[in-house]
Structure 1
């Protein structure tokens, strides 16, 4: 673990002026942070702005911009990773899956207004869980363990939060997400088209096809 000031200085020493952020954000306790002067500045900004996810992310962006960096959305550099509308895999959602996607998306949009999470798991019309501080992988595990074994298989749904800064923390999936879906007996994943990312796209789609998991872009 390095102090924030040392990280910033190292990046600047490499003449890096643009930063792209994508993937999982792991939470840690404040007591585990190494707070030099810049770290203390960032922590103060966070405490003033609030400790909900959106406030923290907006504050981190503001901090990096105050250090002279420009934050670039991942899709500006790799447009191919943006989720397109419709079916992206060989495996197709059946009518029951489409019904769950429709209902789950409506519920998740309502929940997302409260800055709770970007993901939800639904099974046969029943919401099994909403993403909280644990992240998507733990949500998949938690819901996979409580799903009804004789019902339709679970579906993961991921969308952007309303008014979210889309330069950072876009909902995304990758090969490990697909492996976890298969491990916990999920049918597939539905992602908000044009507002979600598929990391390592070719590998992710190939893994989904190999395991019989659908990936669907919600329009």
Structure 2
């Protein structure tokens, strides 16, 4: 369900890497909103500055600085869009007193618990965190066969196995991507991210691997939705992976026309699974 537009005409954007911050900023501007953005050094594309009304740069973990930027601009609602590399978060984080305040209350340091705690802390300071897809429903993956050859019976079985394993992976709050080939699970996504999980699985299983991405069970749709774009297919082509199965309605398609065209050109099957 879409959030109502902020009455003051401003929306906050906590920007990570990739294209999702750009998509969100453009969609919000199309609704007549001024976008007040906070970007992460080493993660966010500097070109985002041309898409927003104001841009503040922070390092990963500088919670107080983000909140001050929003509060001083009068922002009441904000969305998190784009990822933060887990590896960089471990090595380059600069936690401030705001981050320490949040961490001190946590019983678990898993992604979902941490992000919910961050959202609760922002809300306590008058900034409600909303789902980016409240403004981007049109970029969510539709169900059905989307591009490429029809699945073989063996590929259908690999998709089913990948989805089953992805549920267990998500229950552990580890990752969202599973790579399968001929009934064998080749790779599970962890801190290295989707691209490296695909590369590892492809190297182990050879050409023909099936890549499955799906939300974690009980996923909070405000945070860390799975996403796929042309870059995903480039990595799949590197290792000869042949199927990309995405959770319909809950996976963000980055540059969908280019994604579909790339799948057709490379002979990769793209499907949205309900």
Q: SS of the counterpart of 1:49?
A: coil
Decide whether aligned partners of structure 1 residues 133 and 12 sit closer, same or farther in structure 2, where only a CA change above 3 A counts. same
Q: Residue 104 of structure 1 aligns with which residue?
A: 162
Query: Over aligned residue pairs, what C-alpha RMSD do you find?
Result: 2.1
For structure 2, the residue ranges without an aligned partner over 5 or more in a row are 1-40, 42-57
Decide whether aligned partners of structure 1 residues 67 and 175 sit closer, same or farther in structure 2, where only a CA change above 3 A counts. farther
Q: Residue 79 of structure 1 aligns with which residue?
A: 137
Distance 1:121 1:30 in 2: 25
Give 1:1-219 correspondences, 5 Å limit.
1=41, 2=58, 3-27=62-86, 28=88, 32-45=92-105, 48-148=106-206, 153-219=208-274
Distance 1:52 1:115 in 2: 6
Return the structure number with greater strand share: 2
Query: Which structure would you say has the larger RCO, counting Cα contacts within 8 Å and 6 or more residues apart?
Result: 1
Deviation at 1:42, TM superposition (A): 2.8
Decide whether aligned partners of structure 1 residues 52 and 39 sit closer, same or farther in structure 2, where only a CA change above 3 A counts. closer
Q: TM-score, normalised by structure 2?
A: 0.71
Distance 2:161 2:89 in 1: 35
Decide whether aligned partners of structure 1 residues 184 and 68 sit closer, same or farther in structure 2, where only a CA change above 3 A counts. farther
Structure 1 stretch 134-143 or stretch 100-109: which is displaced more?
100-109
Decide whether aligned partners of structure 1 residues 4 and 107 sit closer, same or farther in structure 2, where only a CA change above 3 A counts. closer
Deviation at 1:108, TM superposition (A): 2.1
Q: SS of the counterpart of 1:115?
A: coil
Q: TM-score, normalised by structure 1?
A: 0.87
